[in-house]
Chains A and B, each alone.
Chain A
Amino acid sequence: MKTNPAVQENKPIGAASKPSLGRQLRKQLTIQIFVWLGMAFLLVFSFTPMFGVIMAFKDYKISTGIAGIFTSEWVGLKYFHELVNDYRFPMLVRNTLAISLLKLVFAFPVPILLAIMITEVKQAVIKRLVQTFSYLPHFISWVVVVGIAYAFFSTEIGIINHALITLGIIHEPLTVLTDPDSFWGLAVGTAVWKEAGWWTIIFLAAIAGIDPGLYEAAQLDGAGRLRRIWHVTLPGMRGPIVVVLILSIGSMLGGGLVGSNFEQSMLLGNTINNDKSQIIQTYAFNVGLAQGRFAFATAIDLVQSIIAVFLILTSNFIAKRVSGTGLY
């Protein structure tokens, strides 16, 4: 499928008759090899393992090896029943959806705003400094970010609590890390801090691609700075914004644009705030993988994948209707 446009374009104009497929392939051998390797990669690493999905409907035990995936007994929807009947299920769904939605709402606009603000800064030094400092956290691992959060917010050693108490603003330390009610905010806040700068790069590239003539024209027409942003910059970024939005809705259950739902729940979650921090992925890990129940873990992830596919199809459909831009 993918090769067709290339084939069409490379065909010498005015060729009398269509050359045979074999000759055509041989002619484009170098290009074809790249495509084949890509396809082989997808086939081996993305499509082949999918047969393992049938595990979700089977009484599979790891001791029966790979062959056991086919030979073990069918159990129908047993694992799905177990998942839905777990006392934590409503809480898991609520937390997964709430954290994902909050991240979409708050994390999506931030890089766009940041990109516009950075473009509007005229001093090159400050511009570069802001850009560097905002995307550096992307390279810090979550384990370290959680360590930093601990150093800031801990009730025992956190510098924020120390400072606030010393200044007399509060008398009891803030329990940001353990209070269940502050987990969602903590998750969204740290994720935005870590990833916003990184996504800014894409939007900065989009802004750089806007024809400067449009700005000059707008200026001549008397448009101020805000008007130029509204009428030139934002429409110029529409393509990337829609694509990134669709992608982040598709991966919403993993945290969307800023990702890392699993890492955060695993590392920032603890026995005190787990009413608000446990999500479907951590459940799949604790109850499925960590206990060697691969079939159950597969069933849990299958449910999540189906929701994700539904989300990406819906968002793409809506985006196409509204803006005319979509993934395909």
Chain B
Amino acid sequence: MRKVQKGSAWLITASLMVLLLSACAGNNATPNNGGNAGETPAASGNNGQTNGAPEQVTLDLFVDQTWWPMKDWSGAVAEEITKQTGVNLNVTVATDDKQLQVMIASGDLPDLVVTSGQVKRMSDPDLSLAWNDLIAEYAPDWELEQERIGVNTAEDGNFYTIRNFFSTEAEWEEHKDTALLYTGGISVRQDIMEALGNPEIASLEDLTALFQTVKDTYPDMIPLVLNPPNWHRAYFEQQFGALSGFNDVNGQLVYSLNMPEYKDMYLYMNDLYRKGFIRAENYAYKSEDQGKQLMFNGTGFAYSWTTQGSDQLTSAAKEQGGHTFVNLPVRLTDNLKIVNSAVGWQGVFITKENKNPEASIKLMQFLQSDEGQKLALWGIEGEHWDYAADGDYPVFKYNTMDDAERVARGAFYWGLLIGSTTTEMRALYEPDTDATRTNKVVTDETQFIPAIGLVAPDADSDEQVVLTNIQEMIKSEESKVLLATSEEAASAAYDAMVEQANRIGLERLEAWANERYEQAKAQLES
């Protein structure tokens, strides 16, 4: 009996020890996997060659986006890309948003890394190969636009990636009828507008009067619902010509809090609250659904969100309430300001560990070509989409709103590795909807100032801390302005916010931003 006990005790201890050790080993093994896995497929690449088929290479790609739905390189689109370029990708998707940072720290990088959060960190000659060198050596026929190179040039003068979600002014001009931008907007109930005789809304006074009429005619309704927690003041910021963050005022960057127009915007929104058009509880909502629910159940009249709002709300309301929504005009004042400072979102880095830089840069060249962009973003022409008869936008043969259908074909996501916004936006074009009509005006009214987009503090820098602290402060303090019970109180609360921002270091931040801004402008002009 005793012996058995002793034996089983040893057994338990031993198995627990094994369990513990294997757990530790498991942790170590994860990053190694990436490195080792690379060697086997390279060998299989050689096999391909001996069989006489076009030379095939398999490269390891790490995707620094935890939500990335493409877990492997499959589907008709991926196969077509391999056919065209001879490159297969062995995909690893990040399990958490710190994984890449840890990989960088341990020096264990795969052939290719695509990231949006660590662009600055990866633009480093110790980690990545410069594309300008690679292009000169392996793809001299690839002519990249100077604008595109400018927004991606690192401080050492090289560029280590070309990010997607950027288009040159020429591209915007070429596709201005089908690649449409959207911005902050307000959508209102069409039936109520009609019942009120479709009053003309051409100024902020008209808008205030409209809300008053709605309040008087329909006392149970909420005249204005704000989308929580983003976009709630975007429409008003545009009308007053002061956008949150940095604004170009006569060539100088000014932070929104320091602009008198920004204060006017807050006071106007406070006025809307004091007149009873906005409910206080609106500012406590945390999810979009809380706001939208009020629109679907018929309580809300206007919804402050984006210019896509009228289409999206109408389509969602088909199942709930059945109301139809239309957008308010884009321009209500002479001060209207809509700025696009996009300089790109994510980019592929060809790391120093890369085993085939030639195939890597050629893959990028193909994906950036017009043919490659359409293949990766839209699918195979004729099989997945056809051109619309009268334009340069695709009409799809599958439901592009359904992620499962996109993933099955391998479409869309690989197009986000590199490419142009205009190709992405043309896929969303739907002729003759209310949002399309609004967005045409938006695209016309938009100023392109990419230099502002280049004024972004480095990760972990002091400027980054100051900037996020100011943003956090505004988020937590602004309701005191918006919900003040008198104009004087609102004004005082706003001034307190500015004072607080100065204490956090706004002045220092502005000085730094202007220095960066001059560099960025020079970089784009060169």
| With contact pairs A156-B294, A271-B478 given, residues A87 and B503 touching in the complex (Cβ less than 8 Å) | yes
**Alpha-carbon separation in the docked complex, A278 to B475 (Å):** 13
Residues of chain A contacted by B475 (CB below 8 angstroms): 271
Residue A286, interface by CB 8 Å: yes
Residue B102, interface by CB 8 Å: yes
Residue B508, interface by CB 8 Å: no
Main secondary structure, interface of A, reads loop
Give residues 35-84 of A contacting B (CB, 8 Å): 37, 61-65, 67-68
Residues of chain A contacted by B503 (CB below 8 angstroms): 87
Give residues 1-45 of B contacting A (CB, 8 Å): 5-6, 9, 12-13, 16
Encoded as 1 (CB less than 8 Å from any B CB) or 0, chain A from 274 to 293 comes to 10001000000011000111
Contact of A62 among B101, B281, B504 (CB under 8 A): B101
> Do the beta carbons of B281 and A271 come within 8 Å of each other?
no
> Do the beta carbons of A272 and B106 come within 8 Å of each other?
no
Q: Which residue of B lies closest to A271 (CB)?
A: B479
> Do the beta carbons of A271 and B9 come within 8 Å of each other?
no
Tell me the smallest distance from the CB of B218 to a CB of chain A, in Å.
Answer: 15
Interface centre among B98, B283, B284, B469, by most A CB within 10 Å?
Answer: B284
Tell me the smallest distance from the CB of A5 to a CB of chain B, in Å.
Answer: 21
Residue B460, interface by CB 8 Å: yes
**Alpha-carbon separation in the docked complex, A177 to B101 (Å):** 40
> Do the beta carbons of A87 and B284 come within 8 Å of each other?
no
User: Number of contacts between A and B (CB, 8 Å)?
Assistant: 75
**Alpha-carbon separation in the docked complex, A270 to B479 (Å):** 10
Tell me the smallest distance from the CB of B227 to a CB of chain A, in Å.
Answer: 14
Tell me the smallest distance from the CB of A41 to a CB of chain B, in Å.
Answer: 10
**Alpha-carbon separation in the docked complex, A95 to B328 (Å):** 43
Contact of A30 among B5, B106, B299, B469 (CB under 8 A): B5
> Do the beta carbons of A30 and B9 come within 8 Å of each other?
yes
Chain B count of residues within 8 A CB distance of the other chain: 37
Q: Which residue of A lies closest to B503 (CB)?
A: A87
Tell me the smallest distance from the CB of A169 to a CB of chain B, in Å.
Answer: 20
Residue B280, interface by CB 8 Å: yes
Q: Which residue of B lies closest to A63 (CB)?
A: B101
Contact of B98 among A30, A62, A293 (CB under 8 A): A62
**Alpha-carbon separation in the docked complex, A271 to B475 (Å):** 7
Q: Which residue of B lies closest to A294 (CB)?
A: B98
Tell me the smallest distance from the CB of B257 to a CB of chain A, in Å.
Answer: 15
Tell me the smallest distance from the CB of A106 to a CB of chain B, in Å.
Answer: 25
> Do the beta carbons of A155 and B279 come within 8 Å of each other?
yes
Tell me the smallest distance from the CB of A150 to a CB of chain B, in Å.
Answer: 9
> Do the beta carbons of A29 and B6 come within 8 Å of each other?
yes
Residue A154, interface by CB 8 Å: yes
Residue B468, interface by CB 8 Å: yes
Residues of chain B contacted by A119 (CB below 8 angstroms): none
**Alpha-carbon separation in the docked complex, A278 to B479 (Å):** 15
Encoded as 1 (CB less than 8 Å from any A CB) or 0, chain B from 434 to 476 comes to 0000000000000000000000000110000100110011011
**Alpha-carbon separation in the docked complex, A37 to B12 (Å):** 11
Residues of chain A contacted by B519 (CB below 8 angstroms): none
> Do the beta carbons of B500 and A87 come within 8 Å of each other?
yes
**Alpha-carbon separation in the docked complex, A30 to B9 (Å):** 6
Q: Which residue of A lies closest to B105 (CB)?
A: A65
**Alpha-carbon separation in the docked complex, A272 to B479 (Å):** 6
Residue B104, interface by CB 8 Å: yes
**Alpha-carbon separation in the docked complex, A270 to B282 (Å):** 10
> Do the beta carbons of B98 and A272 come within 8 Å of each other?
no
Tell me the smallest distance from the CB of B335 to a CB of chain A, in Å.
Answer: 27
Tell me the smallest distance from the CB of B189 to a CB of chain A, in Å.
Answer: 18
Tell me the smallest distance from the CB of A182 to a CB of chain B, in Å.
Answer: 12
Chain A count of residues within 8 A CB distance of the other chain: 29
Tell me the smallest distance from the CB of A71 to a CB of chain B, in Å.
Answer: 11
Interface centre among A33, A155, A270, A286, by most B CB within 10 Å?
Answer: A270
**Alpha-carbon separation in the docked complex, A154 to B282 (Å):** 11
Residues of chain A contacted by B459 (CB below 8 angstroms): 63, 292
Residue A304, interface by CB 8 Å: no
Residue A175, interface by CB 8 Å: yes
| With contact pairs A63-B101, A65-B105, A178-B280 given, residues A156 and B299 touching in the complex (Cβ less than 8 Å) | yes
Tell me the smallest distance from the CB of A59 to a CB of chain B, in Å.
Answer: 9
Interface centre among A29, A62, A63, by most B CB within 10 Å?
Answer: A63
**Alpha-carbon separation in the docked complex, A118 to B390 (Å):** 79
Residue A273, interface by CB 8 Å: yes
Residues of chain A contacted by B280 (CB below 8 angstroms): 155, 175, 178, 272
Q: Which residue of B lies closest to A287 (CB)?
A: B472
| With contact pairs A156-B279, A272-B479, A273-B284 given, residues A65 and B460 touching in the complex (Cβ less than 8 Å) | no
Give residues 293-310 of B contacting A (CB, 8 Å): 294, 299
> Do the beta carbons of A156 and B281 come within 8 Å of each other?
yes
Residues of chain A contacted by B479 (CB below 8 angstroms): 271-272
Residues of chain B contacted by A61 (CB below 8 angstroms): 460
Contact of B284 among A29, A30, A272 (CB under 8 A): A272
**Alpha-carbon separation in the docked complex, A278 to B473 (Å):** 12
Residue B112, interface by CB 8 Å: no
Residues of chain B contacted by A270 (CB below 8 angstroms): 283-286
Give residues 93-128 of A contacting B (CB, 8 Å): none
**Alpha-carbon separation in the docked complex, A67 to B468 (Å):** 27
Residue B483, interface by CB 8 Å: yes
> Do the beta carbons of A63 and B284 come within 8 Å of each other?
no
**Alpha-carbon separation in the docked complex, A175 to B279 (Å):** 11
**Alpha-carbon separation in the docked complex, A33 to B101 (Å):** 39
Residue B275, interface by CB 8 Å: no
Give residues 24-82 of B contacting A (CB, 8 Å): none
Residues of chain B contacted by A65 (CB below 8 angstroms): 102, 105-106
Tell me the smallest distance from the CB of B364 to a CB of chain A, in Å.
Answer: 25
| With contact pairs A87-B500, A287-B469 given, residues A271 and B105 touching in the complex (Cβ less than 8 Å) | no
**Alpha-carbon separation in the docked complex, A67 to B13 (Å):** 31
Tell me the smallest distance from the CB of B500 to a CB of chain A, in Å.
Answer: 6
The 9 closest A-B pairs by CB, nearest first: A65-B105, A270-B284, A63-B101, A271-B479, A178-B284, A30-B9, A61-B460, A272-B284, A272-B479
Known contacts A63-B105, A287-B469, then 5 further A-B pairs from the complex at CB < 8 Å, ordered by chain A residue: A63-B104, A63-B121, A270-B285, A272-B483, A274-B476
6 A-B residue pairings within 8 Å (CB atoms): A29-B6, A33-B13, A61-B460, A155-B281, A291-B468, A292-B460
Which residues of B are interface residues toward A (Cβ below 8 A)?
5-6, 9, 12-13, 16, 98, 101-102, 104-106, 121, 279-281, 283-286, 294, 299, 459-460, 465, 468-469, 472-473, 475-476, 478-479, 483, 500, 503-504
